[in-house]
Structure 1
Amino acid sequence: MSLPEQVLPGQILAVDDIDEVPPAELGPGVQVRTLPGMPGIRTWVIDLEPGAEWPDLDVHETYGEAYFVVRGELIEGDRAHGPGAYVAFGPKTSHRPRTETGVRAFGFNYDVTP
């Protein structure tokens, strides 16, 4: 399935099955599916298998990031976030998510550069 990078003004886009979007393997047990976003917003789905950890420290120098946990549990430091949790990171932050149970989350990167 090939998707455009952005949804354009006046355009409506529907993805009926997220699992049909080809994933990119970022590291052991870590898959990312990039979805079309709006100008200034990158949209994605992450799936981490049980016991997986983001491959590197995720640093946000000039943009923000947020994610919504759909299923499973995502751990940031010593805090676990389960289904329905929304977590946001502002510019000048970093994190390295991991999971013991496996997790699916929808995420958004916000370009806040002038």
Structure 2
Amino acid sequence: MAGYVWSAVTQAPTRELFPGIRLRPLWSGANGAQAQVVELDPGSCWEGVDVHAPGPEEVFVVSGVFNDGERDYPAGSFIHAPAGSWHVPQTRTGCTLFVFYPEG
């Protein structure tokens, strides 16, 4: 269909953000919106605080258990983090996240 964009996680380039935390970009929109998969190895933790700016962050836990520094979110969880909020992404078990930034 005209206008559709397709990508496969297995073919997306991988960029290591921190030890054990990888980003796989899937799509970027003209307004700065982004869709990506983030993979966290067991025991990995974001270095510092992840602040959501300029807009919100939407997270769906595809597999494993994600922890935001406060609580665990098992596979199937959806998290909306409003602009200006923050967390420290981490996992004890390992996890895969689908992350969407509607405003970049």
Normalised by the length of structure 2, the TM-score is: 0.88
Q: Answer yes or no: is the 8 Å Cα contact 1:70–1:103 preserved in 2.
A: yes
Q: For residue 29 of structure 2, give the secondary structure of its aligned residue in structure 1.
A: coil
Give the aligned CA root-mean-square deviation in angstroms: 1.6
SS in structure 1 at match of 2:43: coil
What stretches of structure 1 of length at least 5 have no aligned partner?
A: 1-9
Gaps of 5+ in 2: none
Among candidates 32, 37, 43, match of residue 23 of structure 2: 32
Cα distance, 1:38 vs structure 2:
3.2
Aligned residue runs from structure 1 range 1-114, under 5 A: 10-15=2-7, 17-40=8-31, 41-111=33-103
Please report the TM-score for the alignment, with normalisation by the length of structure 1: 0.81
Structure 1 ranges of 4+ moved more than 4 A: none
Distance (whole Å) between structure 1 residues aligned to residue 59 and residue 23 of structure 2:
13
Aligned partner letter, 2:83? P
The total of aligned residue pairs comes to: 102
Structure 1 residue 78: Cα displacement? 2.9
CA contact (8 A) 1:48 1:104 kept: yes
Larger radius of gyration: 1
